[in-house]
Amino acid sequence: MDICNEIAAIIGSNRVLTGTDAAPYATDWTGQYKGAPLAVLRPGSAQEISAIMKLAYATGTPVVPVSGHTGLTGATLATDALVLSVDRLNKIDDIDVAGRTATVGAGVILSSLHDAADAHDLIFPLTFGARGSAMIGGVLSTNAGGSNVLRYGNTRDLCLGLEIVMADGRIMNLMSALHKDNSGLNLRHLMIGAEGTLGIITAAVMKLKPKPRAYATAMIAVPSLDDALSLLHTMQDSTGGAVEAFEYMPRNYIDRHVAIMEGAKPPFENSYDVNILIEIGATAQRDATPGPDGQIPVVANLEEALGTMLEDGRVLDAVIAQNESQRKEMWRRREEAGEILVKGDPFVNTDIAVPLDKVATFEREITPRLKAIDPNCVEVIVSHLGDGNIHHTTFVSRNDPDAMKAMVEAVEDVVQELGGSFSAEHGVGISKLDTMRRRKDPVALDAMRAIKAALDPKGILNPGKVIPPT
């Protein structure tokens, strides 16, 4: 613990947590991963983190960065390592309205950035259920996606600049607000999604977007996913790409949500197999200003399209939000996915991506393979259908590690057959290390190991995560 005493001299003894004070950092949000950190450090600046990393580098002490601590892959598990929290780097330094950027610390909570942008009639469009606890450092480190990827892209697409403390304590300044910069290798993109294995993100310049003047939000039941995609393409074409979210909640998800969440209600009087949440954001005045009949054009456009599809049978039922309260109720149904997919009975959780037109194929192919392993298992799916990202959870009938591993491999098989990815937006952490070893191109793995060795030669940054050893 000598290093903790030295660190305490830098950041203050009250910022070095041990014993019961460090207990909340010993397990992850899912409760699946339990560690034993040496201590939890709460520095207040990049300079303090730099000093800590210089000590850690000199002594070969592992350091595990942590932000909001709401990840799902065990990426913040720490045993015999220092946990370095960025929660005190929580200042929003600047909102540049003209440049539409925000300069923020890694500890800024996502919802705080939402509020700060909203005060200037702008938005930071990244959003998901954990926005009240997730921090900028974490969403960058995992290249988080969320519900609005369809229109705005992943976190990587929303970042212009970074400040990073390297393994040896040097501070790399990439804090640019430039939209174009071809001055060598794109180190910013290298750090985003690396889960703290290559450096510790301490600050960022993030893009802001114009705030929609009106939303058209609806729950829609359709006969099939093919009909859902037809609706998506129709609305994208008619709105000039203004569809912000297109979320798929099948019957098994709706049923579990109603059963588990207090006060939850089904979206329709009848039950349907394919339920879609669509949201369109109108930024142009012409699309958001009510006409003589009081109708908002973006809402009228959605109503017209749904009416046509109801007549020809491509839509079975639809409810359009008439006010903000109804809109929030629709979103609550989707954003409580974390609570109903990774809590409770033993489960196998996967986060995959397939081509948009292969989501239905994945559903058809995976069920018999899982039932062959555990005939009494129960599947629950929710999907960002607009970008092909599927969150697939299997609740198993028995806590059998071998059977659960076989289920993971069954999912991997189908995903590989469909030309998909076994990791879409949650990161790799620990949970997907074996999958990385089995499924990732071996040359790509060698390249990753070479980069890790070059930037972190002592292997002290979040060791044992993301990149499987040889």
DSSP 367-409: HHHHHHH-TT-EEEEEEEGGGTEEEEEEE-SS--HHHHHHHHH
Contacts of residue 199, defined as CB under 8 A and 6 or more positions apart, other chains included, come to: 164, 165, 166, 167, 172, 191, 455, 461
Q: How far apart are CA 178 and CA 158, in angstroms?
A: 12
- Write out the DSSP string of 315-347: -SEEEE--SHHHHHHHHHHHHTHHHHHSSSS-E
Is residue 28 over pLDDT 90? no
Is residue 109 over pLDDT 70? yes
291-344 confidence digits (pLDDT tens): 999 899 999 999 999 999 999 999 999 999 999 999 999 999 999 998 888 766
Q: What is the pLDDT of residue 243?
A: 97
Is residue 172 over pLDDT 80? yes
Is residue 136 over pLDDT 90? yes
Contacts of residue 367, defined as CB under 8 A and 6 or more positions apart, other chains included, come to: 379
Q: What is the pLDDT of residue 315?
A: 97
Q: Can you tell me which residue has the tokens 């569809």? A: 243
Q: Can you tell me which residue has the tokens 């640019």? A: 176
Q: How far apart are CA 278 and CA 264, in angstroms?
A: 19
What pTM does this model have? Answer: 0.95
Contacts of residue 274, defined as CB under 8 A and 6 or more positions apart, other chains included, come to: 221, 222, 223, 224, 225, 227, 228, 248, 250
Q: How far apart are CA 391 and CA 347, in angstroms?
A: 13
Summarize the confidence of residues 152-167 as an average pLDDT: 98
Q: What is the pLDDT of residue 121?
A: 97
Summarize the confidence of residues 371-377 as an average pLDDT: 97
55-97 confidence digits (pLDDT tens): 999 999 999 999 998 898 999 999 999 999 999 999 999 999 9
Is residue 50 over pLDDT 90? yes
72-82 confidence digits (pLDDT tens): 899 999 999 99
> Average pLDDT, whole number, for the chain?
96
Is residue 390 over pLDDT 80? yes
Q: How many CB atoms lie within 10 A of CB 346?
A: 14
Q: How many residues does the chain have?
A: 470
Q: How far apart are CA 243 and CA 298, in angstroms?
A: 11
Q: Can you tell me which residue has the tokens 């001299």? A: 9
% of the chain at pLDDT higher than 70? 99
- Quickly state the pLDDT bin for 470 (edges 50, 70, 90): confident
Q: What is the pLDDT of residue 32?
A: 82
Summarize the confidence of residues 168-185 as an average pLDDT: 97
Residue 36, classified by CB atoms within 10 Å of its CB into exposed (0-12), middle (13-18) or buried (19+), is exposed
Q: CB-side exposure of 246: number of CA atoms within 13 Å?
A: 24
343 or 15, greater pLDDT: 15
Q: What is the pLDDT of residue 1?
A: 62
Q: What is the pLDDT of residue 340?
A: 86
Domains of the chain with CATH codes: 2-85 (3.30.43.10), 92-210 (3.30.465.10), 214-334 (3.30.70.2190), 342-432 (3.30.70.2740)
